Amino acid sequence: MRHLTMPSGITVTAVDATTPSERPPILFVHGMFGGAWYFEKFQCFFAERGYSSYALNLRGHHGSRAVPAMGKVSVLDYVDDALEVARALPRAPGIDRPIVIGHSMGGLIAQKVAEAGAASAAVLLCSAPPKGIIVLSLRLLRLAPTFGVPILGSRALYPHPSDADDLVFNRTPVEERSALFQRFAPESGRAAREMAFSTIPVDARTVACPVLSVSATEDHMVLPRVGRQIAHKYGALYEEFPGMGHFIVWEPGWKTVAAQVAWWLDAAIPA
């Protein structure tokens, strides 16, 4: 595992494939409050299957590129971070674009990277939706008293442990939750508003790469109906994992998800 810093200050965790291969590299993009650490398990899993991978810390997260006002960062600023890294990654023979795998907000960022023609394939894990698909649910609306002011006022926000337990860690073993919560980083209220009201458009006509949309039946943050609508938007394959929650990249069962993604990638981008 290597820790890299881009010229702009964006930090990246790199894991090399255990055996050399001609598979394209994978760019992992985390969601709200997260970081490259979200993908520690996935990076090791894919390294054993011939994929080198790079997980970035979006600006303002875990020592990555400093921002003057965290609350005012836009999802589109994060898209710029992902595009910078995607375009700088090593190229595989015959393949000049990485695979992009995004979780939650990172899934929306991955859609924008694909829209820009910078991905050879896109995997959207419990993804936030683009404009035209409603993500708000009664469960999320109940958070208005806590998050309403920072979201509407473009201030930095941070979840309460009980909210994280309900929305993110509901299928994560209780004994692991406190340590995981401590790894959370403050998030942008502006970015949260853009996702809550689905204001970031993606032109499906310019998404030319294969797309996989993945949901979890017990996801309290992004309901499965959202993943199904995303799949429909791109004419993508849709996979739904029973009994899993929003933190699908870490909680028990994550390896089943990773194996299914690997199977799909092998079919979508033959070695």
What is the pLDDT confidence band of residue 20, given thresholds at 50, 70 and 90?
confident
- Count CA atoms closer than 13 A to 71's CA, side-chain side: 13
Residue 19's pLDDT is 85
65/164 Cα distance (integer angstroms) = 25
Whole-model pTM? Answer: 0.96
Domains assigned to the chain: 2-268 (3.40.50.1820)
Give me the count of residues in the chain: 271
Query: Which of 66, 76, 63 has the alpha carbon at shortest distance from 109?
Result: 76
Query: Which of 16, 35, 28, 80 has the alpha carbon at shortest distance from 187?
Result: 35
pLDDT tens for 154-182 read 999 998 999 999 999 999 999 999 999 99
pLDDT tens for 105-124 read 999 999 999 999 999 999 99
Could you tell me the strand order of the sheet in which 26-29 lies?
2-5, 11-15, 53-57, 26-29, 99-103, 121-125, 211-216, 237-241
Residue 92 has pLDDT above 80, yes or no: no
pLDDT tens for 30-81 read 999 999 999 999 999 999 999 999 999 999 999 999 999 999 999 999 999 9
